[in-house]
Amino acid sequence: MNTKYRIFKDKFLKMLVTFLSLVAILPLILILFQVVKNGISVVNFKFFTQLPPPPGEGYGGIANSLLGTALLIGLAVLLSVPIGVFAGVYLAENKSRFAEFLRIIVNVLQGLPSIVIGIIAYIWVVRPMGGFSALSGGVALAIMMLPIIVKNTEETLKLIPFSLKEASYSLGVNYTRTILKVVVPTGAGGIISGVIIGISRIAGETAPLLFTAFGNPYISVNPAKPIDALPLLIFNYAMSPYENWHKVAWGASFVLIMFVFTLNLMVKVAGEKWKVKF
Partner 1 sequence: MKADKFFKFFLFLCGLLIIILAGGIFVSLISGSFYAVKSFGLGFVLGKIWDPVSEKFGLLPFLTGTFLTSILAMLISIPFSISIALLLGVYYKDGFFNKILSYTSDLLAGVPSVIYGFWALYFLVPIVRKLEMKFNILPYGVGIFTSSIVLSVMIIPFTSSIAKEVISMVPANLIEGAYSLGATTYDVVKKIIIPYSRSGILAGILLSFGRAFGETMAVTMVIGNSNSMPENLFSLGNTMASLIANEFTEATKDIHLSSLIYVAVWLFLLSFVINYIGNWIIKKLSVDVSK
Q: Are the C-beta atoms of residues 60 and 128 closer than 8 Å to each other?
A: no
Using CB under 8 A as the binding rule, whether residue 13 contacts partner 1 is answered as: yes
Using CB under 8 A as the binding rule, whether residue 10 contacts partner 1 is answered as: yes
In whole angstroms, the minimum distance from the beta carbon of 198 to partner 1 comes to 13
Distance CA 153, CA 168 (A): 20
Q: What is the DSSP letter of 51?
A: P
Part of the chain binding partner 1 (CB under 8 A), chosen from 9-17, 45-53, 54-62, 218-226: 9-17
Using CB under 8 A as the binding rule, whether residue 238 contacts partner 1 is answered as: yes
Q: Are the C-beta atoms of residues 54 and 117 closer than 8 Å to each other?
A: no
Identity of the residue, 27 or 130, whose beta carbon is nearer to partner 1 in the bound complex: 27
User: Considering CB under 8 A, how many residues would be counted as binding partner 1?
Assistant: 82
Using CB under 8 A as the binding rule, whether residue 133 contacts partner 1 is answered as: no
Site residues for partner 1, window 196-225 (CB under 8 A)? Answer: 200, 203-207, 210-211, 214
Q: Are the C-beta atoms of residues 80 and 147 closer than 8 Å to each other?
A: no
Site residues for partner 1, window 160-179 (CB under 8 A)? Answer: 174-176, 179
Identity of the residue, 221 or 275, whose beta carbon is nearer to partner 1 in the bound complex: 275
Helix residue ranges per DSSP H, the chain: 3-40, 45-49, 63-93, 97-110, 114-121, 127-129, 134-158, 162-170, 175-177, 184-186, 188-203, 230-238, 243-274
- Would you say how long the chain is, in residues? 278
Site residues for partner 1, window 71-130 (CB under 8 A)? Answer: 83, 86-87, 89-91, 93, 98-99, 101-102, 105-109, 111-116, 118-120, 122-124
Phi-psi region of 80 (alpha: psi -120 to 50; beta: other; left: phi over 0): alpha
Q: Residue 214 phi/psi, 5° resolution? A: 75, -40
Part of the chain binding partner 1 (CB under 8 A), chosen from 55-63, 66-74, 164-172, 260-268: 260-268
Identity of the residue, 115 or 221, whose beta carbon is nearer to partner 1 in the bound complex: 115
Identity of the residue, 21 or 41, whose beta carbon is nearer to partner 1 in the bound complex: 21
Half-sphere exposure of 24 (CA within 13 A, CB side): 6
Distance CA 142, CA 16 (A): 43
Nearest to 136 by CA among 77, 205, 213, 74: 213
Among 60, 231, 251, 271, binds partner 1 (CB under 8 A): 231
Identity of the residue, 47 or 235, whose beta carbon is nearer to partner 1 in the bound complex: 235
In whole angstroms, the minimum distance from the beta carbon of 156 to partner 1 comes to 16
Site residues for partner 1, window 47-66 (CB under 8 A)? Answer: none
Identity of the residue, 166 or 221, whose beta carbon is nearer to partner 1 in the bound complex: 166
Identity of the residue, 41 or 221, whose beta carbon is nearer to partner 1 in the bound complex: 41
